[in-house]
Amino acid sequence: ASTLTDHLIRLEEVGLIEAIERDREGLERGQPYRFFQLTDAARELFDQNNLFEPDAYRELFAEVERTDEIKAAEGVERPNGRN
């Protein structure tokens, strides 16, 4: 069985995502420090093929039940990168 990490590594290897990290200093245990974002090439590919319609994903995301842990992770300051 593949893990989420395996999938992220594969997506990184093929150039669809890139990892960015924030400084770990001052972080509490369990706070995220590593984030992933689409590469410019992936964004261009998705846009050319209409594969990533933001409004559709926002609507789906709004319906997802999020735990307190997930809500806390969503509020964490992200490292500099594209938003």
pLDDT at residue 15 greater than cutoff 60: yes
User: Which pLDDT score, from 0 to 100, does residue 21 have?
Assistant: 81
Q: Mind listing the pLDDT tens digit for each residue in 34-77?
A: 889 999 999 898 888 888 777 777 888 888 898 998 888 888 88
Give 45's contacts (C-beta < 8 A, 6+ positions apart).
51
pLDDT at residue 33 greater than cutoff 80: no
User: Given this structure, which CATH class describes domain 4-74?
Assistant: mainly alpha
Reported as a pLDDT band with limits 50, 70 and 90, residue 30 is confident
pTM of the entire structure?
0.62
Bridge-partner residues for 36, per DSSP? 19
Taking a C-beta distance cutoff of 8 angstroms, is the pair 17, 8 a contact?
yes
What does the alpha-carbon distance between residue 64 and residue 74 come to, in Å, rounded to a whole number? Answer: 13
Taking a C-beta distance cutoff of 8 angstroms, is the pair 77, 24 a contact?
no
